[in-house]
A and B are shown apart, each in its own frame.
Chain A
Amino acid sequence: MNNADPTRTKPLASPPDGPVRSRGGTLTASQVSAWFGASKVLEGVDLEMGAGRVTALIGPSGCGKSTFLRILNRMHELVPSASLAGSVLLDGQDIYGTSLRVTQVRRRIGMVFQKPNPFPAMSIADNVAAGLKLTGTRAANRTELIEESLSRAGLWNEVKGRLRDPAGGLSGGQQQRLCIARSLTVRPDVLLMDEPCSALDPTSTRRIEETIGELREQVTIVIVTHNMQQAQRVSQRCAFFLAAENEPGRVVESGPTSTIFDSPRDARTSDYVHGRFG
Chain B
Amino acid sequence: MRTRARARSALPAGERGGAGAGSTGGPGPRKISARLTRGDRLYHATATAGAGATLALIVLIGLFLLIKALPALREAGWSFLTTKEWSPDAERPRFGVAAMMAGTLVSAVVAMAVTFPVSVSTAVFINEYAPRRLRRPLTSLIDLMAAIPSLIFAMWGLFVLVPFLVPLEQWAVDRFGGALPFMRATAIGASLGNAGLVISLMTIPIATSIIREVLAQVPRHECEGALALGATRWGMIRTVVLPFGRGGIIGGSMLGLGRALGETLAATLILSLTFEIKPRVLENGGITVASALAVQFKDAQTMGLSALMAAGLALFVVTFAINFLAAIVVSRSRSGAGVEA
| In contact, A119 and B229 (Cβ under 8 angstroms) | no
Q: Are A117 and B334 CB-contacts (below 8 A) given A106-B229, A134-B231, A134-B235?
A: no
State whether A130 and B226 are in contact (beta carbons under 8 Å apart), knowing that A80-B132, A115-B221 are contacts in the complex: yes
B230 at the A interface (CB under 8 A): yes
Task: Mark interface residues in B213-253 (1 if CB within 8 Å of A CB, else 0).
Answer: 00000010110111111111001100110011000000000
Instruction: Indicate with 1 or 0, residue by residue over A143-185, a CB within 8 angstroms of chain B CB atoms.
Output: 0000000000000000000000000100000000001001100
Closest to A103 in B: B230
Question: Of the candidates A103, A108, A122, A183, which one forms a contact with B231 in the assembled complex, judged by CB atoms under 8 Å apart?
Answer: A103
Contact B239 A119 (CB under 8 A): yes
**CB-based contact B239/A134 at 8 Å:** yes
Say whether A120 contacts B229, CB under 8 Å.
no
CB of B341 within 8 A of chain A?
yes
- Residues of B within 8 Å of A121, CB to CB, are 243-244, 334
Q: How far is the CB of B228 from chain A (nearest CB, A)?
A: 4
Q: Number of contacting residues on A, CB 8 A?
A: 30
User: Which residue in B224, B230, B341 is a CB contact (below 8 Å) of A135?
Assistant: B230
Known: A120-B334, A120-B341, A121-B244. A134 touches B229 (CB 8 A): yes
Find out whether the CB atom of B230 lies under 8 angstroms from the CB atom of A117: no
Q: Given that A80-B132, A133-B239, A168-B341 are known contacts, is A117 also in contact with B229, CB under 8 Å in the complex?
A: no
CB contacts (< 8 Å) of B341 on chain A: these are 117-118, 120, 168
Interface of B, secondary structure class, is: helix
Bound CA span A264–B230, Å: 38
Question: Is A73 an interface residue, CB under 8 A from the partner?
Answer: yes
List of A residues within 8 angstroms of B240 by Cβ: 119
- Write the nearest CB–CB distance from B37 to chain A, whole angstroms: 35
Q: Are A117 and B227 in contact (CB under 8 A)?
A: no
Provide the A22-61 mask, 1 if CB < 8 A to any CB of B, else 0.
0000000000000000000000000000000000000000
Query: A104 at interface (Cβ–Cβ under 8 A)?
Result: yes
Interface size of B as a range: 20 to 34
Q: Contacts A104-B230, A168-B341 given: A119-B224 contact, CB under 8 Å?
A: no
| A123 CB → nearest B CB, Å | 13
Question: Contacts A119-B239, A121-B244 given: A186-B229 contact, CB under 8 Å?
Answer: yes
| Most chain A C-beta atoms within 10 Å of own C-beta, residue among B231, B243, B334 | B231
Q: Mark B87-118, 1 if CB is under 8 A from A, else 0.
A: 00000000000000000000000000000000
Chain B residues within 8 Å of A78, by CB: 224, 227
**Are A119 and B230 in touch, CB under 8 angstroms?**
no
16 A-B Cβ contacts within 8 A?
A: A75-B224, A104-B230, A106-B230, A115-B221, A118-B225, A119-B240, A120-B341, A121-B243, A122-B239, A134-B226, A134-B229, A134-B232, A134-B236, A168-B341, A179-B225, A182-B225
List residues of A whose CB falls within 8 A of some B CB: 73, 75, 78, 80, 103-108, 110-111, 113, 115, 117-122, 130-131, 133-135, 168, 179, 182-183, 186
> A117-B219, A133-B235, A134-B226 given. 17 additional CB < 8 A pairs?
A75-B224, A75-B228, A103-B231, A104-B230, A106-B227, A107-B230, A108-B230, A113-B221, A113-B225, A117-B225, A120-B334, A130-B229, A168-B339, A168-B341, A179-B225, A182-B225, A186-B229
* Residues of chain B whose beta carbon lies under 8 Å from any beta carbon of chain A: 132, 219, 221-222, 224-232, 235-236, 239-240, 243-244, 334, 339, 341
- Of all A-B residue pairs in the complex, the 10 with the closest CB atoms, nearest first, are A107-B230, A134-B231, A111-B228, A131-B229, A117-B225, A121-B243, A120-B341, A134-B235, A106-B230, A117-B221
